A and B are shown apart, each in its own frame.
Chain A
């Protein structure tokens, strides 16, 4: 167990020596890359410049230009609806039974926008600045400034669609401060902002279905990308009801398939969230950027047993009033917490970080919780030999403010907690534990949101672009809708202006090869006839990822993880058991295909983490810390986007670096002591 206060090695601090190359032997150096589409000039004029310079597809031509959009969350539904409105022929795909069920729906907190309706000093520049700083200086200035600019249009659009945001008595929109920022710029719809925004986008999408511009393919999962003459020209999907393998062509393909947090098995993602669409594109030439950048959320409901299928997040606003502690003595860990006297409790965040206490950033709160449990001072049920939980105690807050006040503030969260755990948080301290929540990494895109495969665009959580190494609260919804409503429709037209492209022949070798590979993969999964279920492999992969590529990482641990994943992957292809038939609905087969891709992604995430010998954003590298055990970033060596190129199943990935330069913001190290 790495103890951050003891393993400190003075030789590893300060300037990092160039000789460190932890990942040597695991990868090949490639040419550096540049985001060639971002215009220069004043920051505030760049997006206008790009919109003007991007060609416009002739309106009369649009009904002959086709677009495939994979995914119907905020980034996908908004893009498909907007492209439909513009007159393109759109095909929209999702694995769920309705576009409205995509996992954006589960976002609780809110959506940021630089409206400055509160007159509290917010501005486009401040939102830009906060986002760059929150991302620990690993995001592009041009992209983030654009995000802050269009954030204002999103709110206008959503209100016009009838999204029922919270309002004040005067009838105007209410805002709140979120995630420790100093201005109130977060718009919200009680605890279900994601659902309300998604319904807005979904309704806009269904309106286009009725208008005949969009056709929706529900219960269809993308399983391969078709690249012809160097351009993305279509996808292969499996109809999840009939099992049929179908091929669809278009002039351009947009991936909006969300994040891959389920590589950890347990996460706050939906059960079906997966990386397959992205990973298939990666294998066809799309670079994967910063795959190790994962956000771990500190206030989730802990695992209750080995049967656990997913984790549930509770708003971190709970930390405003709850006090976090564990017993000082291991012997007290299975006691009723109410019987543990004050002097035997360790309010460890208040002890280690007296200035910020329980309100330290997400990554610090998460990492310290894991440290306490690794020390053997965790609480709650023992799962596989360890108690993974810490107390979040409202006794003091209830005493100070009264039960009614706490109920008013957190009633719905307390109810949710009681429903899931069967415990009453008003009388017994809550138990919390960190869980994987969001990934900042994703497919590399340029300023136009185009990947390294011409004609393949990527929006929302599926791309890597705007959050750097950590994402601010209430910014995921903003980015998804910014990409889908305002950015992509204005950049994709430049590409489509060259079209329509020559029709792809059904018997084109690239098409036949893609179809064959899909069929043979399914055949292999159905005919391995092994002994282990898909879920058991997924769970084991998740344990490896969580242990070695979670909140705290070390070179030794990551190398071990890579070995473990390779072995497990081999075993999977020899010993997995998928029952039923491929020519029917088969949920085990669906999961098997997703898990197969998670193995390869997991290995690349470990490699990316191994290469990045710095503590940055949401991650802590044991080898990169300050004298008092805090995260230490290395701007001299790692101020770049790590974009990985697939080189083949048994080949070493190629690393392409995109250097990050800051013209408008000064890079600073954070401190919470």
Chain B
């Protein structure tokens, strides 16, 4: 297969970037999207041009490192992570535009690499249950109804890749925050801090420059783990409850 690749190149956070165009031959349909970029980089290296920087680590769709806007879609045309997208999803001769996540709260570091540190800072504001090591009761002390445990798991599958933010016209991270609020809020262990958690995490979300949610739903459509939109309802419900409780 043969492709024309339009790739965002930006030397660092402060220098303006622009699209460069590369032709790439001899791509196999069994290559993952990132392996295709590996081949491009070997090519560029051989020609004396600096390879394209992009994030990836596990390449199994679970670490959340990778994430590219591919032809304007977060993670490309399939519901999966960029590393699990394969070239058979494209047609021979296609032109593919590759850009970094687009969001004010995710500044570009270099080429296709962005800074998602804002997610860590949101978690710092309450995305946890406060229990010191060694202070836990027996694991069977508190049964958890299976439907609640399953729901907590379903939303805990979020990999913090940031596709929701990149896909949202408002650059909102409500799906990310809602997933954590729901995960911990479904469990009995998470109740003690439920009010303060939502208030503090939302405040940090806004402080980081993420936009508000206007129920567009692009986030859940782009989410490789298919986190449902209703976690944002849960987020709003919990936030209102917390405000009613005077938090």
Contact = CB atoms under 8 A, between A and B. Distances in A.
Contacts of B125: 210
Contacts of A166: 149, 153
Nearest to A218: B117
B136 A304 contact: no
A34 to B, nearest CB: 30
A381 B109 CA distance: 39
A189 B153 contact: yes
Interface string A122-161: 0000000000000000000000000000000101111111
Contacts of A579: 45, 48-51
A533 B143 contact: no
Contacts of A210: 124-125
Given A106-B62, A115-B139, A585-B113, A305 B133 contact: no
Contacts of B53: 585, 587
Contact of A171 (B124, B146, B159): B146
Contacts of B62: 105-106, 192, 194-195
A81 B133 contact: yes
A107 to B, nearest CB: 9
Given A307-B35, A422-B29, A156 B65 contact: no
B34 A533 contact: no
A533 B48 CA distance: 11
B128 A422 contact: no
A159 B139 contact: yes
B214 interface: no
B32 A309 contact: yes
Interface stretch (A201-209, A245-253, A278-286): A201-209
B59 A489 contact: no
Interface in A329-382: 381
A508 interface: no
A162 interface: yes
B12 A584 contact: yes
Contacts of A106: 58, 60, 62-63
Nearest to A85: B132
Interface centre among B86, B123, B139, B153 (most CB of A within 10 A): B139
B146 A304 contact: no
Interface in B107-128: 109-110, 113, 115-117, 119-120, 123-125, 127-128
Interface stretch (A1-9, A94-102, A601-609): A94-102
Contacts of B117: 97-98, 218
A268 B139 CA distance: 31
B59 A271 contact: yes
Interface stretch (B69-77, B168-176, B183-191, B229-237): B183-191
A241 B55 CA distance: 12
Contact of A96 (B34, B59, B65, B135): B65
Interface residues of B, number: 77
Contacts of B63: 96, 101-103, 105-106, 270
A307 B31 CA distance: 7
Nearest to B37: A309
Contact of B149 (A81, A155, A164, A536): A164
A173 B140 contact: yes
B116 A422 contact: no
Q: Which of A158, A170, A192 has the most CB of B within 10 A?
A: A192
B4 interface: no
A569 B49 CA distance: 25
Interface in B1-15: 11-12
Contacts of B131: 157, 160-161, 204
B156 A173 contact: no
Given A164-B149, A203-B128, A170 B143 contact: yes
B215 interface: no
A216 to B, nearest CB: 7
A100 to B, nearest CB: 6
Contacts of B49: 579
Interface of A: 78, 81-82, 85, 96-103, 105-106, 115, 117, 153, 155-162, 164-173, 189-190, 192, 194-196, 199, 202-204, 206-207, 209-210, 216, 218, 241, 268, 270-272, 304-305, 307-310, 312, 381, 419-422, 485-486, 489, 533, 535-536, 577, 579-580, 584-585, 587-588
Interface of B: 11-12, 28-32, 34-36, 38-39, 42, 45-46, 48-51, 53, 55-60, 62-65, 80, 84, 86, 88, 109-110, 113, 115-117, 119-120, 123-125, 127-140, 142-146, 149-150, 152-153, 156-157, 159-160, 183-184, 187, 189-190
A-B complex: 7 closest residue pairs judged by Cβ atoms: A171-B143, A203-B128, A160-B136, A164-B153, A304-B30, A156-B136, A159-B139
14 contacts: A78-B133, A159-B139, A160-B131, A160-B136, A167-B149, A271-B59, A272-B57, A304-B30, A307-B31, A309-B35, A422-B86, A579-B45, A584-B12, A585-B109
Given A78-B133, A202-B123, 9 more contacts: A97-B55, A164-B149, A164-B183, A167-B150, A168-B146, A307-B36, A312-B60, A486-B133, A533-B45
